[in-house]
Chain A
Amino acid sequence: MRPTRTRVYPDEPAGPFPSPPTTYEDPEGREIVLETLEGDAETAIEALTDMYVQFDPADRAQGIPPTGEDRIRQWLEPILAKGHNVVARHGDDFVGHATLVPDTDDPDSMDEDSDVEWELAIFVLQDYQRGGIGTQLLENLLGAACDAGVSHVWLTVERWNGPAIALYERVGFELCGTESFEQEMSIRLR
């Protein structure tokens, strides 16, 4: 499969980024572990569904996460099956999730992770926001992805969401064209 890219990417790779697991103490003194999501698929989906049902609907972006357990599970299945996933864990509970999904119609025909572009999204439960967990999740996901061979990552963010755009820029994302209501950003890892 030949890489075909439609977006503009920075010339230079960003990073280096930390590889999970990483332990981080948030400003409330809570010990947060950033780790790749492993173990069997059912357990992972259940644990993440428990997190997403608590997600404040006001924090949804561009229609995700969906609401309702069934729709959350349906949405998570392909993300966990085909994507790279890092979670923020506090004790036994997941409090944040960062994910990369391959931007291809046919993920099964993908030979190498470097063949395709990957779309990124990140979610942090309301009670854990504004404490740097988002940045930790983002950096650890990019570290894990880079280790796996991923090179081109993009995301969209609502154009008026200045704080999110600033966070992505600090990590190394650059603006790459705007698609109306959404701003596209991209980063090169390798």
Chain B
Amino acid sequence: MHVLLGLEGSDESLKTLEKTLDRVQEVGDELTVALVGKPEAKRSVEEMRDLTRDHLETEGVDADIKVLDGDPGSALVEYAEAEGFDQLVIGGGTRSPMGKVRLGPITEFVLLNATITVKLVR
């Protein structure tokens, strides 16, 4: 299966990257990582590219890294469909102080608009 992993600059994205790399190695999926920019993100796209490279190298996973411009949600959906990926993987939400799961606008756009299977990582 060819998996597209969509990441922005949050801690949640880093956790999603780690869990996805574990899974890819377990089942032998082919992986592409797409980085999207979010103005309020904790890390820039450049920082995320470096971090992703480090993680790929440490884990010994071979994957293309692609930076997508424009609105993050629609850029991910369009790229995933245009390139014929089997699955789009994104983070599964942050937690409020109370522990409530919160899904942001990128997640909502992807869930409602993607025509391929979407996986949320908790």
Contacts and interface: CB of A to CB of B under 8 A. Distances in A.
Given A179-B104, A181-B108, A102 B97 contact: yes
Interface residues of A, number: 20
Interface residues of B, number: 13
Interface of A: 61-64, 66, 75, 79, 99, 101-104, 119-121, 156, 179-182
Contact of B98 (A99, A104, A179): A99
A116 to B, nearest CB: 10
Contact of B105 (A63, A79, A99, A180): A180
30 contacts: A61-B100, A62-B101, A62-B102, A63-B100, A63-B101, A64-B100, A66-B99, A79-B98, A99-B98, A101-B97, A103-B96, A103-B97, A104-B97, A119-B96, A119-B97, A119-B98, A119-B100, A121-B98, A121-B100, A156-B96, A156-B100, A156-B102, A179-B104, A179-B105, A180-B104, A180-B105, A181-B103, A181-B108, A182-B102, A182-B103
Residue among B98, B101, B108 having the largest count of chain A Cβ atoms under 10 Å = B98
Interface of B: 95-105, 107-108
B102 A179 contact: yes
Contacts of B95: 63
B35 to A, nearest CB: 21
Given A62-B101, A63-B101, 15 more contacts: A62-B96, A62-B100, A63-B95, A64-B98, A75-B99, A102-B97, A103-B96, A119-B96, A119-B98, A121-B98, A156-B102, A179-B102, A180-B103, A180-B108, A181-B103
What 10 A-B pairs come out closest when comparing CB atoms? A62-B100, A63-B101, A180-B108, A119-B98, A101-B97, A103-B97, A119-B97, A180-B105, A62-B101, A64-B99
Contacts of A179: 102, 104-105
Nearest to B99: A64
Contacts of A101: 97-98
A183 to B, nearest CB: 12
Contacts of B107: 180
Contacts of B102: 62, 156, 179, 182
Contacts of A79: 98
Contacts of A180: 103-105, 107-108
Contacts of B101: 62-63
Nearest to A182: B102
Nearest to B93: A63
